[in-house]
Chain A
Amino acid sequence: MNLRRTMLFIPGNNPGMLQNGGVFGADSVILDLEDAVAPQEKDAARFLVAQALKTVDYGNSEKVVRINPLDTFGAEDIQMIVPCQPDVLLVPKVESVQDIEKVTHLVAQAETAGQQPVQLIALLETSQGIALAYQIAQTKGRLVALALGAEDYTAGLGATRTKEGREIFTARSLVINAAAAAGIQSLDTPFTDANDEAGLYQDTLTGKELGFKGKLAINPRQIDVIHGVFNPTLATIEWAEEVVQAIRKAESEGSGVASLHGKMVDAPIVARAEHILKLARRLGVEVMQ
């Protein structure tokens, strides 16, 4: 499973940012053809993003393109972008299983022979999409994650958008649960005040504690803060190593349950510890095998 702690939006009509998108260390860059681009600039941005995919080195960042919805320019986006080998398409305003199936069909048509299959992430940003999150997540094939888009969602509800985010608590939980049930990732809505570092930290922490695996970012300045929240701390890594050692020792003695500092270590705890060690390994930290 790909690490997607941060997915950084890059406006698809900004050549300077498209060229530099890879230097910020985001796990994914999202070259945006949708909200960042005015309708009269869609054609130009599509050409620009296509060229960027072919020529710009995004380093270790996964290449994601946010296409337009199918009822506007989505089909044209897919036709031009998919052959340029993005890793993932971020599909906006997904409200039903059919939405994903239609995109899947168009992507399959656009792919060239021998091309690495393009994966999909569904952006749920309407009440309809949130209500059907579970079914959407179950769409088999290309879907690798659900992402929450809280701005459109709360506007549709008529809710007040707050820094604390009480108004999106349910939506967050539904998205996380639906994704977990389908065995795919869940990604949190972006924090839109790029100048509020403390607010970003708190909002990211809230999302992580609820179960999100990463967060969309609207400014490169947000990346370090978000990574700081999602990266395991040294103390957690040490705890995880102790858990795994304890359970191995117990297993060698024929037991499936161990004890660590007086607390029971069973399968869910072990799974959590193994996930932390896997993440640490991905980040280049030397941990036990």
Chain B
Amino acid sequence: MKNSIGRDIPEVIEGYGETIPYVGAFETQPAMKRQAPKVKTIHPRKQKLVDTLETVFQQIPITDGMTLSFHHHFRNGDGVVNQVLATAAALGIKNLKVALSSVFPVHETLIAHMKSGVVTALDTNYMSGPVAKAISKGMLAIPVVLRTHGGRARAIECGQLLIDVAFIAAPAADEYGNLNGVQGPAACGSLGYAFPDAEYADHVVAVTDYIVEYPLAPISIPQCRVDYVVKVDCAGDPKGIVSGTTKITKDPVGLKIAAMAAKVIEAAGLLKNGFSFQTGAGGVSLAVAHFVRQRMEQEHIVGSFALGGITGYMVEMLEKGFFKKLIDVQGFDLEAIRSIQTNPNHLEVSANFYASPFNAGCAINKLDVVVLGATEIDIDFHVNVVTGSDGVIMGGSGGHADAAAGAKVTIVVANLLRGRLPIIVEQVLTATTPGETIDVLVTERGVVVNPQRPELLQQLLAAGLPVKDIHDLKAMAEKIAGVPQKLKTSDRIVAVVEYRDGSVIDVVRQVNQ
């Protein structure tokens, strides 16, 4: 069957089950109660601190076929996933499902565990590096479930992603299971993506290399749902967890795009007191923040809040009074960690608070503007951030589809030509974010407005911005670079791309070797 954006979705996908086709960004409504997590108790004298991961495996006990969950706040410095899976392998456990909110190159050991059958299923919101490549080539028999950050929180709350054991990498913990992300050698800032796991998993294991005297302060994840605390020698490599500073791009084309995106925000009439804003940590996205800030400074505008992944640049904007609050689900650098620890206006929030579509209101609903990237965008404005031009998985939605759905104006920034490929295509290989939630595309050679937003088009034209039709811009790119040959994939489905509400927006098919 075809979903409402014309994607071929089988009614049943082997290893995934029956599919709910995507029917619109706000069409699928929940008719259920939340998953009721296991009720827990503990004898007052019982200790939670255990010496080794093996002990935890034996005490729970962890058995074949269970789902183990992890967060990705340690990014490419994560040491916990690899240690836990090595323990599982050593104990001869098979058929595990790994629910890891994002997979990074550091998780390459997953491939060996998949080969040996220790891991047979993967549930994630983003993946890059060797694991993504292996999945694209058909490594797993069961398709990977690719969710959004808000969608993962929703799936956990709605009982669609059932977690047997949540291993929570904790930069700091006390022996009774209070956790935070801001102290210790592996400090990572906000622990937002781990909150739903801690709340809903049957068993919760904190893994840390930094134990402090009870009670820990501040507390991000409280002791009430944490069953075990394991002290390991090293939970993560700080070099892979945080960057020293996040820098604005120096690429002139990137800067040109960023400056234009800032002009779009202003032309849309959104740059005024109370302005709220989300942008990525990448060079161009951050440059948009820079140009927005210049205008805020010139016009004496004080924004309400900045949201999402927080960088030092956003911290500086908070401290200099450009924004009154930061809402932080994930921190990227040392400045973000320092700020969330010391500034009461820098709020740590859960993935659910940040972006879940099935609650009484998440933070992205309050956004004026979000600036997002794209690997491809098509003439219907559907965006691909999952697969590259070779069909290999190189990312995932993360918060992309969530923020696009919530913000008043969603701006995609992208070079019209990447390498020698046009960014605008007839039809994206993998639809991640539906066109109905994308308002503007900004490239170095012109700005495009989604025809569903005629009032926005009028605003941008009135401001004298170089607005073009998406077909014309596509033709311009093809005149320079030619029309790329269509990629051939096999029929086998290697990943199911779920929209934030759990409906299936697209599938990823295996690439030829």
Contacts and interface: CB of A to CB of B under 8 A. Distances in A.
A221 B255 contact: yes
Nearest 10 interchain pairs by C-beta = A220-B252, A23-B444, A20-B253, A23-B445, A23-B256, A24-B256, A221-B255, A20-B444, A221-B252, A220-B256
Interface residues of A, number: 12
Task: Give the contact-size bracket for chain B.
Answer: under 10
A24 B255 CA distance: 10
B417 A219 contact: no
A219 B480 contact: no
A19 B480 CA distance: 9
B415 to A, nearest CB: 9
B480 A24 contact: no
A20 B415 CA distance: 10
A20 B256 CA distance: 11
Interface string B445-481: 1000000000000000000000000000000000010
Interface in B244-262: 252-253, 255-256, 259
Nearest to B445: A23
A220 B255 CA distance: 9
A283 to B, nearest CB: 12
A187 to B, nearest CB: 21
Contact of B252 (A19, A24, A56, A57): A24
Contacts, number: 22
A23 B255 contact: no
Interface of B: 252-253, 255-256, 259, 417, 444-445, 480
22 contacts: A16-B253, A17-B252, A19-B417, A19-B480, A20-B252, A20-B253, A20-B444, A23-B253, A23-B256, A23-B444, A23-B445, A24-B252, A24-B256, A56-B480, A57-B480, A219-B252, A220-B252, A220-B255, A220-B256, A221-B252, A221-B255, A224-B259
B443 to A, nearest CB: 9
Mostly helix, strand, loop or mixed at chain B's interface? Answer: helix
Given A20-B444, A23-B256, 15 more contacts: A17-B252, A19-B417, A19-B480, A20-B253, A23-B253, A24-B252, A24-B256, A56-B480, A219-B252, A220-B252, A220-B255, A220-B256, A221-B252, A221-B255, A224-B259
Contacts of A16: 253
Contacts of B444: 20, 23
Contacts of A56: 480
Interface string A6-35: 000000000011011001100000000000
Contacts of A219: 252
Contacts of B480: 19, 56-57
Nearest to B416: A23
Interface string A30-63: 0000000000000000000000000011000000
A23 B252 CA distance: 10
Nearest to B480: A19
Nearest to B446: A23
A56 B480 CA distance: 8
- Which of B252, B259, B444 has the most chain A CB atoms inside 10 A of its CB? B252
Contacts of B255: 220-221
A65 B130 CA distance: 45
Contacts of A20: 252-253, 444
A82 to B, nearest CB: 24
B447 to A, nearest CB: 12
Contacts of A221: 252, 255
A220 B417 CA distance: 18
A17 B253 CA distance: 9
Nearest to A23: B444
